[in-house]
Amino acid sequence: MSLITWSDNLSVGVEEIDNQHKKLIQLINGLHDHLLAGDANEIMGKVLERVIDYTSFHFGTEEKLMEKYDYSFSSAHRREHKKLVETALDLQSKLNSGNTHITAETMTFLKDWLYHHILEVDKLFGKHLNSHGVR
């Protein structure tokens, strides 16, 4: 059972970003699947690492496009990126040291953050890119 389902409503109108969002959803759903399966922290940690690595790659793509197309809201957008990465790295550190577990609440946080980020922050950025002919 997927935690997050892609729909056209999540599209920001930029193929590269939409494809990366789809991949990110796939990775988060994989983490959720491991949680439901009751997998060990070691396995969950490896899956979380893939989520973090891909998220960082994706944010890098967006931030390069922000620079290239002179996006006026880039500072606020980057702060959101930075905050999520810091939260994820903190979770990873705690998980690796045995001080926490990935929980349903963790997954709900990731899902809610992703929906908010795509539907509110990235959609605005997508409109900016579209106005510069980026599809």
Structural domain boundaries of the chain?
11-131
- So what's the pLDDT on residue 99? 84
pLDDT for 100: 86
pLDDT tens across the length of the chain (135 residues): 799 999 999 999 999 999 999 999 999 999 999 999 998 888 888 999 999 999 999 999 999 999 999 999 999 999 999 999 999 999 899 888 888 889 999 999 999 999 999 999 999 999 999 999 999
Cβ–Cβ under 8 Å, residues 22 and 130:
no
Architecture of domain 11-131: Up-down Bundle (1.20)
Measured CA to CA, the distance from residue 109 to residue 115 in angstroms comes to 10
User: DSSP alpha helices (H): ranges in 1-135?
Assistant: 15-37, 41-68, 74-96, 104-116, 123-131
How far is it, in rounded angstroms, from Cα 69 to Cα 63? 10
* pLDDT for residue 41: 83
The pLDDT value recorded for residue 42 is 83
Distance CA(19)–CA(93), nearest Å, equals 29
Quick one: pLDDT at residue 98? 84
